[in-house]
Structure 1
Amino acid sequence: MIRIGNASGFYGDRAAAWREMLEDGPLDVLTGDYLAELTMLILARDRLKDPSLGYARTFLRQMEECLGLAADRGVRIVTNAGGLNPAGLAAALQSLAARLGLSTTIGYVEGDALDQQSPGALAANAYLGAFGIASCLTAGADVVVTGRVTDASLVVGPAIAHFGWSRDDLDALAGATVAGHVLECGAQATGGNFSFFTELPDGGRRPGFPIAEVNADGSSVITKHPGTGGAVTVETVTAQLLYEIAAPAYPGPDVVTHLDTVRLAQEGQDRVRVTGTRGTPPPPTLKVGVAGIDGHRNAMTFVLTGLDLDAKAALVRAQLEGAVGKEGLTFTQLGTDDGALLQVAIHDPDPKRAGRAFSAAAVELALASYPGCTLTTPPADATPSPLFTTASIPQPAHWAIHPDGTRAEIPPPTHTSPLIRDFVDGHAVGHAHQLPDQLRGRVARVGARSGDKGLDANVGVWVRSDEDYAALVSWLSAERLALLLPEVADYLVERYEMPNLWALNFVIRGVLGRRDWLDPQGKALGERLRARIREAP
């Protein structure tokens, strides 16, 4: 088997994780994922200021102390920290290695950038697969840098290189994709953001980072270094499997992974075996992420206390609309133990109106509004409002640049199959307005994790037994989800059943296009759903 670890789930993750993973136990490969959708916009703005940038600079700083350590431990590094400029990061790493007196060999992958095909976008990138990474590793690279690849490709690529898989090894590729999907968000697989965090040995205070021991058939064991925090259980792995997915037929550039075939088994402390994954040919197209700017935004927060909270909020609304106009303003009132917070947000094409014109108007109310008026935010300039959209293109060739400078073409797959999206609406049956007896009194057993897929949100829900799953399937329909979460009621809700995981996955199409949410990436939807299930009759 090949032992692959993860040390980063996003741009800004725990800075010490690279050193911790290298020092705390044996690894063959250590990966790091930096490219959330918002990150592409951040890197694009960096590149506008300095064309030599466009990559995750924190990774370069982390390698100051870890590049030599990785060489000493015989650990190869694979990361998408190259962002919009993988060649630039590879060159910067080569300079760093030379300064440190290391003979590190570096390869990189390019061909994802489609900026010239997307007028007006700050960045447009195709989600490439894993065979370019494998090509660099096979050519002897100690470090492989990529731009936009699918997150799971950081794990699949090393497995391809290690086992010599071809594009026809679909089940193996799918199994490695599952391992990559579990690892890609770092500590989320070891107890981070976990519904039952109070049950973890350390209460979830400092979860370690995950490791996948991948076998030649694509099966794996998910684990972590001994002595690190958190836990690896069937449920922590289930939670991550349900994160940011849509249909169980999970499309990628190299394989469609059928998540409803995955089987999980606890085989020891902090060891979960993943087997049974089936793969089918990939679609003929690739997803393209397009990052741009959709106007400008700003927000101010008022503290409401005492009596007449709604009247106080109405006064602020009238005063601000009178000062800057109604267009683009949204008001969100949140209750607290002794009052409420009123967040006022603005979205406008004009950075001046959304900037100081708005925030100064809010501050000017300090002595001229409701009794007890106070704000938690100072006046500030507007910030660009990110816009991330997706498209698709026919699968293109891309390139692996080997450590010796050889430019190897990675052709697209020759055997593809159109992707069919088939969802179950799941209307409620039986006692439509009653929580089933099997779940009554046991709603604490319902776990959830939610996230974003472009402008869509997903909510994965799981339970802890066959009996509870039967009750969940019969009760929690797409229709009932919209009743429990009225904020999504105006959007198409799809439901997918995943009995192997005792789980349902819901996809809410287009809901993250709303500008009036305090949860713009849908991260809190799952926990809101759990709370409302608890309150259901």
Structure 2
Amino acid sequence: MTQPRPSLRIANCSGFYGDRPSAAREMVEGGPIDVLTGDYLAELTMLILWKARQRDPHGGYAVSFLAQMREVLGSCLERGIKVVVNAGGLNPAGLAAKLGELAALAGLAPKIAHLEGDDLLPRLAQLQAAGEEFAHMATGQPLADAEVRPVTANAYLGAWGITEALRAGADVVICGRVTDASLVVGPAAWAFYWAPDDWDRLAGAVTAGHIIECGAQATGGNYAFFTELDRPVHPGFPIAEMYPDGSCVITKHPGTGGAVTVDTVTAQLLYETDRPSYANPDVIARFDTARLAQEGPDRVRVDGVRGEPAPNTLKVCLNYQGGYRNTATFVLTGLDLDAKARFAEDALLDAVGGRDAFAELDIRLDGPYTSNGTARLVVTAKDPDQRKVGRGLFTAIAGTGLSSYPGCYLEQASPHASEYGIYWPALVSSDAVHPEVVLAEGTRIPVPRPPVRGYAAEQDVPADPAPPVPGPYVSVPLGTVAGARSGDKGGDANVGLWVRDDLAYGWLRGHLDVERLRQMLPEAAGLAISRYELPNLRAVNFVIHGLLGDGVAAATRPDPQAKSLGEQLRACPVDIPRALLEPRI
């Protein structure tokens, strides 16, 4: 066996479908890298790609990837940079063929491989007949009982298909629905000759993959303490400098914007996570064992991550058509805003014939009010009947225009309803999924499955009594001492908060329990909330179950992906010991 290389520099150039188009060129031209990765998929993206494929049966993939490859494919081949992406979406074979055509026009001949086996839609009835219930992960309802017809059903594959493709000599590996972290784990396992049961090494790579998969979010993007950054605009994309033992250094190209610090890396580690045992198809990574250290400017070492055997199930992302929706926004100005909101709601219900006129009607007052006395009443109607929530809702609203509250005007109203989808998360037995690597000449390589075991999730951890930090106390926004990062997990939302020293963490973990969170976030008052502690990160993570309803595509919340939830929490006043504030006030 050839000796493994001493390190592998894995760069990211996309955190979602629509990310910065120039990022691939910036990463290839900005300095040395060994692998260029890109994450283009999310639960919502699969529905977007399905709609694209309805318009063009040959589509269903992230077309922006082709534009990026026009700029860098030649340089990647010349420098030996491997390209590994999940841009294949619902049609990896189609994207591989299209990239081959693009390369040929440029006089290039890359070895292109793609991964198949994640698309379970053609096998759905067969799998159900064999006992796979595809029960909803939040409600436990079997898919068959819901009487819906999915339009997408994709299992989250792991890293070993990528590893096998690279071992077969591929220059470019195009995947469909693999886990985000697999884009890093696969190349690392290939470069360092890892075995499927190298749990700690694999867990380290999963951690690195989770850190860089959202692009510039690891280098200062969407960062709570952005005012501390010298160059927050146009941050450089991240690089995971992987090592054979599974440790890594997170960095970026010299001279680029943003920053790589323990705090920026902590923020991304908390993003879209729930329990500390982060389950992937190849390993369970214990994020609560990760250790972070600032090794130098824009260099954060991540090590110590422990791994456990892979679960015996794979997550499946199903989407189905939910119907049609339409939204109108009433602007309320001046005095008596609460009364005006009630007037607008009563007038609307009178015009449409009551709440039962639609399958679902969501009416919410968005506050807090602005300094000049302005608020917004947002009305969202959903129904299987497109005309009812389109022209019907619009006509009813328009008819109240001269008989509503004083100062009434609309910021948004349309006679056109839009189609929406509903996300259905489920699990399937890993041995029911059979991924294969497909090489350009048609050769198929079965992907080996890692050893697995049954997986029982740990419970959330109540706040334990902590030694009190002596007073006096000062009422200031929580964000004075705590950073936060929030996001969506299907219909759930997570918000992770971290602080910068042990004294502050002792206060945070002792102070911020589930009941206090409910008080600070009234919209979560009636929902189940899980709480997890990550002492190594000085962080507490909350999962608010059901906050986003049926997921981002169907959510009526103004912020359907809960991106602002962390900042909303940081703005809440809390009583903080002055001892924690003295360096800051």
Aligned to 1:370: 405
Q: Does 1:56 align with 2:65?
A: no
Aligned to 1:501: 537
| Match runs of 1:101-500 below 5 Å | 101-116=107-122, 117=124, 120-202=149-231, 204-325=232-353, 326-327=355-356, 328-334=360-366, 335-338=369-372, 339-395=374-430, 396-426=433-463, 443=478, 444-500=480-536
Q: Is the 8 A contact 2:326 2:414 kept in 1?
A: no
Q: Note closer, same or farther for the CA distance 1:470–1:97 as it changes in structure 2 (3 Å cut).
A: same
What is the rounded CA distance, in whole Å, between the counterparts of 1:185 and 1:138 in structure 2?
26
What is the rounded CA distance, in whole Å, between the counterparts of 1:105 and 1:147 in structure 2?
18
Using the TM superposition, give the Cα deviation of residue 530 of structure 1 relative to its aligned residue in structure 2, in angstroms.
1.1
Aligned to 2:135: none
What is the rounded CA distance, in whole Å, between the counterparts of 1:247 and 1:239 in structure 2?
15
| Superposed CA offset, 1:199-242 (max 9, x none) | 1112x221111000000011000000111110000000000000
Q: Note closer, same or farther for the CA distance 1:80–1:524 as it changes in structure 2 (3 Å cut).
A: same
Using the TM superposition, give the Cα deviation of residue 371 of structure 1 relative to its aligned residue in structure 2, in angstroms.
2.7
Name the TM-score, length of structure 1 as normaliser.
0.95
> Identity of aligned pairs, percent?
54
Q: Note closer, same or farther for the CA distance 1:438–1:265 as it changes in structure 2 (3 Å cut).
A: farther
| Gapped regions of structure 2 (runs ≥ 5) | 1-6, 126-147, 578-585
Q: Is the 8 A contact 1:496 1:505 kept in 2?
A: yes
What is the rounded CA distance, in whole Å, between the counterparts of 2:110 and 2:329 in structure 1?
50
Q: Note closer, same or farther for the CA distance 1:498–1:166 as it changes in structure 2 (3 Å cut).
A: same
- Structure 1 stretch displaced more, 435-444 or 79-88: 435-444
Using the TM superposition, give the Cα deviation of residue 193 of structure 1 relative to its aligned residue in structure 2, in angstroms.
0.8
Using the TM superposition, give the Cα deviation of residue 142 of structure 1 relative to its aligned residue in structure 2, in angstroms.
1.1
3-state SS of 2:390 partner:
helix
What is the rounded CA distance, in whole Å, between the counterparts of 1:525 and 1:462 in structure 2?
14
What is the rounded CA distance, in whole Å, between the counterparts of 2:498 and 2:149 in structure 1?
42
Using the TM superposition, give the Cα deviation of residue 55 of structure 1 relative to its aligned residue in structure 2, in angstroms.
0.6
What is the rounded CA distance, in whole Å, between the counterparts of 2:244 and 2:171 in structure 1?
22
Q: Which amino acid aligns with 1:77?
A: V
Q: Is the 8 A contact 2:475 2:576 kept in 1?
A: no
Q: Which amino acid aligns with 1:420?
A: A
Aligned to 2:134: none
Q: Which amino acid aligns with 2:183?
A: L
| Superposed CA offset, 1:357-379 (max 9, x none) | 11233234444423322222242
Q: Among 4, 9, 12, which residue is 1:3 paired with?
A: 9
- Structure 1 stretch displaced more, 215-224 or 378-387: 378-387
Q: Is the 8 A contact 1:439 1:471 kept in 2?
A: no
Q: Is the 8 A contact 2:314 2:427 kept in 1?
A: yes
Aligned to 1:532: 572
What is the rounded CA distance, in whole Å, between the counterparts of 1:71 and 1:137 in structure 2?
14
Q: Which amino acid aligns with 1:459?
A: V
Using the TM superposition, give the Cα deviation of residue 493 of structure 1 relative to its aligned residue in structure 2, in angstroms.
1.1
Using the TM superposition, give the Cα deviation of residue 442 of structure 1 relative to its aligned residue in structure 2, in angstroms.
8.3
What is the rounded CA distance, in whole Å, between the counterparts of 2:438 and 2:496 in structure 1?
39
What is the rounded CA distance, in whole Å, between the counterparts of 2:321 and 2:215 in structure 1?
29
Q: Note closer, same or farther for the CA distance 1:71–1:439 as it changes in structure 2 (3 Å cut).
A: farther
Name the TM-score, length of structure 2 as normaliser.
0.87
Q: Note closer, same or farther for the CA distance 1:430–1:71 as it changes in structure 2 (3 Å cut).
A: closer
What is the rounded CA distance, in whole Å, between the counterparts of 1:285 and 1:154 in structure 2?
20
Q: Which amino acid aligns with 1:30?
A: L
- Structure 1 stretch displaced more, 39-48 or 123-132: 39-48
| Superposed CA offset, 1:170-212 (max 9, x none) | 111000110000011001000111110111112x221111000
Aligned to 1:69: 75
3-state SS of 1:20 partner:
helix
Aligned length, in residue pairs: 534
3-state SS of 2:169 partner:
coil
What is the rounded CA distance, in whole Å, between the counterparts of 1:457 and 1:208 in structure 2?
27
Aligned to 1:520: 560
| Superposed CA offset, 1:421-465 (max 9, x none) | 22213277798xx99768866841201111111112111110010
Aligned to 1:21: 27
| Gapped regions of structure 1 (runs ≥ 5) | none
Q: Which amino acid aligns with 1:505?
A: N
Using the TM superposition, give the Cα deviation of residue 135 of structure 1 relative to its aligned residue in structure 2, in angstroms.
0.8
Using the TM superposition, give the Cα deviation of residue 317 of structure 1 relative to its aligned residue in structure 2, in angstroms.
1.5
Aligned to 2:43: 37
- Structure 1 stretch displaced more, 159-168 or 232-241: 159-168
3-state SS of 1:512 partner:
coil
- The alignment's C-alpha RMSD in Å is 2.1
3-state SS of 2:412 partner:
coil
3-state SS of 2:221 partner:
coil
3-state SS of 2:25 partner:
helix
What is the rounded CA distance, in whole Å, between the counterparts of 1:403 and 1:437 in structure 2?
69
3-state SS of 2:394 partner:
helix
What is the rounded CA distance, in whole Å, between the counterparts of 1:429 and 1:218 in structure 2?
34
Q: Which amino acid aligns with 1:259?
A: F
Using the TM superposition, give the Cα deviation of residue 342 of structure 1 relative to its aligned residue in structure 2, in angstroms.
1.7
- Structure 1 stretch displaced more, 342-351 or 367-376: 367-376
Q: Is the 8 A contact 2:476 2:575 kept in 1?
A: no
Q: Is the 8 A contact 1:332 1:516 kept in 2?
A: no
3-state SS of 1:122 partner:
strand
3-state SS of 1:473 partner:
helix
Runs of 4+ in 1 over 3 A off after TM superposition: 363-368, 427-431, 434-443, 533-537
